[in-house]
Amino acid sequence: MSSTPRVAVVTGGSRGIGRAVTRRLAADGYDVAIVYTADHHEAVASVKEIEAVGGTGRAYQADIADAPVIERVFESVEERFGGIDVVINAAGIMPLAPVSALDLDILDRLLRTNVRGTFVIAQQAARRVRAGGAIVAFSTTVTRTHLPTYGAYAATKGAVEALVPILAKELAGNDITVNAVAPGPTATELFFEGKSQEVVDRIVGAHPRGRLGTPEDVAEVVATLAGPARWINGQTVFVNGGLA
């Protein structure tokens, strides 16, 4: 096996599930480039976590839907690390409202980040990931559980699920896998935002495992898709502890 570390790009790598993915990949021996939107302090802290386990990390501030900026980020990663093996797109937003009440400006934001952003990242990944590599996008278990107020968010993730198997077929012969993970309720800042303790308790009570997922639960599956799981391709893997 090569002694050169594999290189991963993780969007949303400064917080929540993305940060757990960053820690896990670093522990598995990857060098990791983090793409973050705004919180420089958390991005720096995530890079320090990579370095603490012996990896090399770097943080890039960018809007994932801004194609020219993202192209420059990927070019910079290739120049700094010598290539890219894995791309994980964990960045996303999740404003909630009933379909009848949703402000269409919010819908436009959702589409820009969750659909256009996913496509922009997938496009750069498809052009640059080396043979033996992997691309992992993020969907949601709500595409199965169909919870009220999640209509717009789930619709954007349905687009992600449609994109993944098509890109997997387009990359046939390149030895690159393309998959998505679809987490269930996971204990992150994004999940807790706007939810009362009563709502959280109700969600936990309805779960067959009696708890929320953790970012580490999801990161374990992402790391498997990023590395050893070469026979899983074009799939959406539901990571929800049996919720759906």
Bridge partner list, 35: 11, 60
Tokens of 236: 């959406």
- Measured between alpha carbons, how far is residue 100 from residues 103, 152, 197 in Å? 9, 11, 25
Query: What is 17-39 written as a DSSP string?
Result: HHHHHHHHHHHTT-EEEEEESS-
- Yes or no: say if 57 and 32 are a contact pair by the CB < 8 Å rule: yes
Distance CA 150, CA 148 (A): 5
Report which of 81, 176, 95 is spatially closest to residue 131, judged by C-alpha positions. 176
Question: Kind and range of the H or E element at 57?
Answer: strand 57-61
Distance CA 165, CA 119 (A): 13
Task: Output phi, psi for 209, to 5 deg.
Answer: -95, -5
Burial of 230 (0-12, 13-18, 19+ CB in 10 A): exposed
Active site residues: 153
Report which of 85, 96, 229, 212 is spatially closest to residue 156, judged by C-alpha positions. 96
